[in-house]
Chains A and B, each alone.
Chain A
Amino acid sequence: MIPALEARKLTKDFAGSLAVDSLDLSVDGGEVVGFLGPNGAGKSTTLRMLLGLLRPTSGEASILGHPAGSAYARERTAYVSGDVSLWPQLTGREAISFLGSLHGSLDAAYRDRLIESFELDANKRIRAYSKGNRQKVALVAAFATRAEVLLLDEPTSGLDPLMERVFRDCIIEAQRRGQAVLLSSHMIAEVEHLCGRVAMIRAGKLVSVADVEELRAHVGTEFEITGDVGDLHGVPGVTSVSALPDGVRVQVVGSPDALLRVLAKAHVTSLHTREASLEEIFLSFYDETAPRS
């Protein structure tokens, strides 16, 4: 099957500054992939290369098997940036209509429903909109085109929590319709909620692409044990041990079988387990001081 979007050894060098380095990534139709990374990691540069706005220094980017930026690719792509820039004299409705005309198709009924759901006053001029409302204009246009590939770069920046919920519903509907979504975001809860897979980028290099569950397994599970359990260092699977006032906290990667066998012989008064959140996974990848498995 041809991936909805694909990057192969994608590289961008801005006059000696390597923004993206040999990035490989693919997203299939009906898949929502999160794209995480700290500021300046190369997320927006990657998305702009996938749109054909930036020319890769080397490597290839394609949309549905066609080169990024080609007419075929453009007609099947919609984009929302984190800082939407539009013509200030147009109204919101005119801007949506214009972008729909450029795309070639716009689901008018869905557009009207989206305008209502996002509570957008579409007859206001762009210059009178707040950042959040400009963002809504771009989101309505992107979803109403029903484009096969949605490239979203911090799309909810400036939106309030209620509107973020509307946005999540739109993504779920897009996924149900078979649209492919690459979602670059700093809202880790949003990514965790919506994305089956997450790609993490650091200093232009892709450091991980995996299911959220796989990533969790990568970081491991946290056990908080109270009681007299003795020394747990060296137990297979245990990656870290820290003392608590009446017990210990241990991090386990992989099967907890060995730990449970040790605990079975100890005096345990309580045991709590907690899986790592995506935020902790994110920090484990990017915080140089965080313990690594």
Chain B
Amino acid sequence: MSRAPASVHTLVWRQIRLPTVVMAALVVLVVRVGVSSYSLSGGARGMIALRPVIENPAVSALYGRVTSLASAGAFVEWKMGMFIALAIAMWAGLMATRVTRASEDDGTWDLLVVSRVGRQPALASTMMVLFEAGVAVGFATSLTLLSGGQRASDSVLYGLAMAGVAWSGVALGLLGSQFFAPRRSASQVALCSVGSLFIVRVLADGSPGNVWLRWLTPFGWLENVGAYHRLVTVWLAPLLALPAAAALLAWRLQRTRDVGAAWRTRADRSRARESLLRTPWRFAWRERWGMLAAWTVGLGVLGLVVGYLTNALVQLCRTDPGYVRLLKHWGFGSMVTGRGFIAEACVLFAVAISFMVAALLVSVGTDSYQGRLDLPLAYGTSRAKWLGSGVVTTVVATVVISMVCALATWIGVVVSGTTMGLRAPLEGMANALTMAPWLIGVSILLIALTPRFSFLVIAMMLTVFYLDAVLGPIMRWPQWLLDGSPFYHLHLVPVVPSNWGATLSLSLIGVAAGLLGLGVFMRRDVGH
């Protein structure tokens, strides 16, 4: 590699090294916990009770099909593998749009193109870094499984397959960047494509007649590799070759378009619609409506799917005492009834809603560090009003979308043939909302302290807290560690009443953090 592309290589690595380290660390944590919980559940013998579970179509749709749980590696692949793969593909897609489309949006790509590096070598170096980042995450997966005593050949191949999934996400991000601008559009397309490919896998595993659908998606290829039970290495070929081919296509497409432009351009002209521009409060809605629509659809579909699973799981619990024992062992004993399953689902929805709250709020911080807040503040609006508009919009939207999610869940439950009133999911979602004051307060504080990294910090915090609440009791972590997670204090409503004491304490922490954050936000330098 000549010196100039090497400089690009270093530059791109600097841009993505932190997210790569974070992603690899999360993968290591989740895989490590999976390996430990396998042995805590009694190893291969303890998994016998799961036999009917893994054969259940609804469970297969969610987790994927597996023929054996004879090793911790197989257990990790089945219980966590698909979700790790989904997270890796999304992360990879976002990284790809960040170093390609975002660089074109902000003009930094121009500097590389006009330098002696040139356009095509610059993109080639960028792609190389993205593929290396994928390999790094795959390597982290392999290493964690190997250190957990799993078979070397399967661990290496499974890590390689995960790298292939990352490459698929990279390829989708690269193609999205060629066809769409600005970065937000390219990222949305990349993420929707990853989500669609995951749904194809869900459909493939949901019914034996649909198995051929696995051939159409990287998640299916990952499953077909079958590490730890029936290794079929040939499926590594599409996982590694097709993303490389897609990247080559993106590389060629770049040559045929203008720098900064995209193949598909949206209309740049529009009639002025000023009704949502008259106050910061109205503008806050206008700025977020696209995101709100996406979250409403996403959580609505999730609610429907989870609600639809209720009947299958309840029936399974009625017929299989071994499965009930295992659920109890994992701390999911309430899932044996329909209401209990919905209560557990609402805790899961609380996690999703928390991410939504963070995503809606951090745009205040983004506006600040990207300089968009200068003019509104100079033209008469106050910092408190701007922040307040974002908070009020987020609160209202969160309540409405939570209720939509509850309604969708109830529809799913009813369609699955279970009798349940609408009140149960409504109460469960209302309970999930008790976390909102804490989260909003902490988010305000982080936006005020570090607007540029606020979402990253909140996302990491939520992930760690959720893992703490779910895995801590199984792993017998110390009580003080469990108490530190707000999710741990969420009661399983409607099975038991809300934990009002914890809600009050968390709300007070939220109010204190929010007031402190408001104070910092009012005094901090804008644009720094």
| Complex contact B374–A53 (CB within 8 A) | yes
| Complex contact A102–B376 (CB within 8 A) | yes
Q: Is A71 an interface residue (CB 8 A)?
A: yes
| Complex contact B379–A91 (CB within 8 A) | no
Q: Known contacts being A87-B287, A125-B268, is A99 close to B379, with CB within 8 Å?
A: yes
Chain B: minimal CB distance from A53 (Å) = 4
Q: Is B42 an interface residue (CB 8 A)?
A: no
How many residues in B have their beta carbons less than 8 Å from beta carbons of A? 33
| Complex contact A53–B525 (CB within 8 A) | yes
Q: Known contacts being A53-B525, A55-B523, A81-B374, is A91 close to B270, with CB within 8 Å?
A: yes
Binds B, one of A72-80, A250-258, A259-267: A72-80
> A48 — which chain B residues lie within 8 A by C-beta?
374, 525-527
Q: Known contacts being A55-B525, A123-B270, A123-B271, is A94 close to B379, with CB within 8 Å?
A: no
Q: Is A54 an interface residue (CB 8 A)?
A: yes
> A71 — which chain B residues lie within 8 A by C-beta?
380, 382
| Complex contact B525–A86 (CB within 8 A) | no
For the complex, what is the distance from the CA of A93 to the CA of B278, rounded to whole Å? 13
> A127 — which chain B residues lie within 8 A by C-beta?
181-182, 268
1/0 per residue, CB under 8 A from A, across B166-185: the answer is 00000000000000011000
B-facing residues in A45-86 (Cβ within 8 Å): 48, 51-55, 71, 74-75, 77-79, 81, 83-86
| Complex contact A79–B274 (CB within 8 A) | no
Q: Known contacts being A53-B526, A91-B270, is A86 close to B379, with CB within 8 Å?
A: no
| Complex contact B268–A78 (CB within 8 A) | no
| Complex contact A125–B371 (CB within 8 A) | no
Chain B: minimal CB distance from A89 (Å) = 8
1/0 per residue, CB under 8 A from A, across B242-273: the answer is 00000000000000000000000000111111
> B377 — which chain A residues lie within 8 A by C-beta?
51-53, 74
Chain A: minimal CB distance from B271 (Å) = 7
| Complex contact B371–A85 (CB within 8 A) | yes
Chain A binding surface SS class: mixed
| Complex contact B269–A85 (CB within 8 A) | no
| Complex contact B270–A79 (CB within 8 A) | no
Q: Known contacts being A102-B381, A145-B379, is A85 close to B374, with CB within 8 Å?
A: yes
Chain B binding surface SS class: loop
Q: Is B277 an interface residue (CB 8 A)?
A: yes
| Complex contact A94–B273 (CB within 8 A) | yes
**Which of B181, B379, B524 has the most chain A CB atoms closer than 10 A to its own CB?**
B379
For the complex, what is the distance from the CA of A88 to the CA of B367, rounded to whole Å? 12
> B271 — which chain A residues lie within 8 A by C-beta?
123
Chain A: minimal CB distance from B270 (Å) = 5
| Complex contact B268–A79 (CB within 8 A) | no
| Complex contact A102–B379 (CB within 8 A) | yes
Chain B: minimal CB distance from A94 (Å) = 5
> B378 — which chain A residues lie within 8 A by C-beta?
51, 53, 74, 77-79, 151
> A93 — which chain B residues lie within 8 A by C-beta?
272
Q: Is A103 an interface residue (CB 8 A)?
A: yes
B-facing residues in A108-156 (Cβ within 8 Å): 121-125, 127-128, 138, 141, 145, 151
A-facing residues in B504-528 (Cβ within 8 Å): 523-528
Chain B: minimal CB distance from A29 (Å) = 19
> B379 — which chain A residues lie within 8 A by C-beta?
74, 77-79, 99-100, 102-103, 141, 145
Q: Known contacts being A53-B526, A53-B527, A86-B372, is A125 close to B380, with CB within 8 Å?
A: no
Chain A: minimal CB distance from B5 (Å) = 29
> A121 — which chain B residues lie within 8 A by C-beta?
269
For the complex, what is the distance from the CA of A91 to the CA of B270, rounded to whole Å? 7
| Complex contact A94–B272 (CB within 8 A) | yes
Q: Is A269 an interface residue (CB 8 A)?
A: no
The residue of chain B having its C-beta at the shortest distance from the C-beta of A137 within the complex is: B375
1/0 per residue, CB under 8 A from A, across B24-52: the answer is 00000000000000000000000000000
For the complex, what is the distance from the CA of A99 to the CA of B272, rounded to whole Å? 14
Chain B: minimal CB distance from A37 (Å) = 19
Q: Is B283 an interface residue (CB 8 A)?
A: yes
> B380 — which chain A residues lie within 8 A by C-beta?
71, 74-75, 102-104
| Complex contact B375–A99 (CB within 8 A) | yes
> A98 — which chain B residues lie within 8 A by C-beta?
274, 277, 283, 376
Q: Is A273 an interface residue (CB 8 A)?
A: no
- Selected from B268, B274, B382, the residue in CB contact (under 8 A) with A94 is B274
| Complex contact B287–A97 (CB within 8 A) | no
Contacts A/B (CB < 8 Å), 8 sampled = A53-B526, A74-B377, A85-B371, A97-B272, A99-B375, A100-B379, A102-B379, A123-B270
| Known pairs A81-B374, A91-B270 / 11 extra A-B pairs, C-beta < 8 Å | A53-B378, A54-B527, A54-B528, A74-B377, A74-B382, A81-B371, A84-B375, A87-B287, A127-B182, A141-B375, A141-B379
